[in-house]
Each structure stands twice: as structure tokens, then as C-alpha cells.
Amino acid sequence: MHDSAFQSLQAFFDELSATIGASSHTISAYQRDLNGLVDFCIGQSLQDWSEVQVSHIRQFVAMRHKNGISGKSIQRELSAIRSFYRFLLKRALVVQNPAKTVRAPKVAKKLPKILDVDQVAGVLDANPDQVLDVRDLAMFELFYSSGLRLSELVMLDLADIRLAEGFVRVRFGKGGKERQVPVGAKAIEAIRYWLNSRPEISSQAVFVSMRGARLSQRNVQLRLERWCKKNGLVEHVHPHMFRHSFASHLLEASQDIRAVQELLGHANINTTQIYTHLDFQHLAAVYDNAHPRAKKNK
């Protein structure tokens, strides 16, 4: 491909960072997804982005599918390609978006794995016996109390925690969106305990190491694994399971999918609707109790 094609690609990444404010993680994902298209175009002897046609994108998708790439990954790659071509169209560097009408192979919806209420209690009812355990319990309580993403939790600053009012401010939600979420009594108690035990350091991060460094996402994952082993939990628990469990338990109790959508920070309610599938047992019970012909006469 011509140097100008690579320059356009770099300009796209620069715009993602500067204008849209995408995180480094998001930009890296776009780079990985578009590198596959670059390799394909080189293999097809295409010199410029304007030469790519709908048939080429279909070939690319078929090749990725044949190579065992999942439908979900191909969907993500197509989304990156469409975004890139929208950028090129704005710059008048192409006349069409060849990926606009191309679809990835259908993906079977995989239900998220959740913890039931007793399993959550097994994780959260253990007593911390050292300062780092106090911090860890505060993190895990907040995960389940407020349905935070892992990335959102590690980016919390002290100014974001409003315990007296009973909420936290999430400033780094998905897509750069900010929201406020309530915090339950158990989580408030655990966070206050941690803040009173927290080392006297200048860092504004809520969850820090004993040296004052903001915890990374990987740190939190490792601490949760350690916590589960220490407390004899056989179930493999990862941070996002708290978010899934929060959503499922709240939806089961309230039946208010719009409220759950707002609390999770989902832009589209279709994303939230996956939790309705987890709630089938509740719906079946409502049906049995309410429908006049659901039960045999006693």
C-alpha cells in the first residue's frame, strides 16, 4: 500500500485520541482490528483505501471466518472498518464505505455467568484481617453494590466518593460518559473502613497500593483470585461477575429494565436485555401464579 494509506490510518488514530477522547485501550483495539485489513489489502495488491470495494470486505470476512475467528470478533473488526471509512469520507479520501452493508456471521448469544445471592455472600461475608484485605473487601462490595466496570472502579478518585449522600460519580464510563450510581449500606461501611485504614499519601485514587500507586485492573483481578482462594471458594470469580450479578439480582427484584440500564451505563437497552434471559425463573413463577389456566384445579 502507498505511504498515503498508512498516513490516513495514523490520522484516524490521532483523531480518536484527540477529538473523541478514546482511551489507549480502545485505540489499541482499533489498531489490532484494522491491522488485519491492512494485511488483507497488501495481499490483494490494493494500494489505496479508495480501491477497496464491498466484494473485498466480504472476502475479508469470509477469510477471517475460515481461519476460525469468532463471529463476535469479526463484528468488532467490521465496526472498526466502518468507523475508519466514515473518517475517510469526512476527509473526502473515498466515495463510499464498503463495509457499511457487510455483516458478520451470526453469533449465538452467550449468557453472562453470574453468582447467586448465597455465592455473593460467600465472597463478601469474610472478615478482613489485614489492611490490604480491608481495601479488597471495599472494592468487592462496591462492585456488587453499584455494578461498576473494572475500568471504572480503578479510575475512581476520592472526590468521586460521596458516602454521606450515598453515591459515587463515575467519570470514565464506556464511551467517556459520566453517571452517578447509588452505593448500598454494606459498601459504604466497607469503604469508610478502608478510607480510615488507607495510608496517608498524596494520591487522589481511592484504591491504592501500600506505596500509594493507583491499582491497575490486573492488580484487582489478582487480588480477587487471592481472596477467593484464601476463603476457600471453589467457584472461579472474576470482577465482571459482580456487575452481571448486580444487574440480574436488581432486575429480578424490581422488573425495571430502564432503571437497570441507567445504573449500568448502557447506551442501548438491547445490551441490558440480556439480563432478562437470566430472569426466566422469576417470569415463570409470575406466570404460574397469575395466569388463570397455568395450574390445574385443586
Q: Which residues are known catalytic residues?
A: 149, 174, 240, 243, 266, 275
Q: Which residues pair with 55 in a beta bridge?
A: none
Q: Are 141 and 163 in contact (CB under 8 A)?
A: no
C-alpha–C-alpha distance, residues 167 and 184, integer Å: 8
C-alpha–C-alpha distance, residues 124 and 45, integer Å: 57
Q: Is 169 helix (H, G, I), strand (E, B) or coil?
A: strand
Q: CA Rg, the chain, in Å? A: 24
Tell me how far CA of residue 255 lies from CA of 109, 137, 247, 261, 275, in angstroms: 22, 29, 11, 12, 11
Number of Cβ atoms within 10 Å of the Cβ of 4: 12
Cell of 82: 466502518
DSSP letter at 275 equals H
> Cell 473494572 sits at which residue?
150
Q: Is 157 helix (H, G, I), strand (E, B) or coil?
A: strand
Q: Which amino acid is at 239?
A: P
C-alpha–C-alpha distance, residues 149 and 100, integer Å: 30
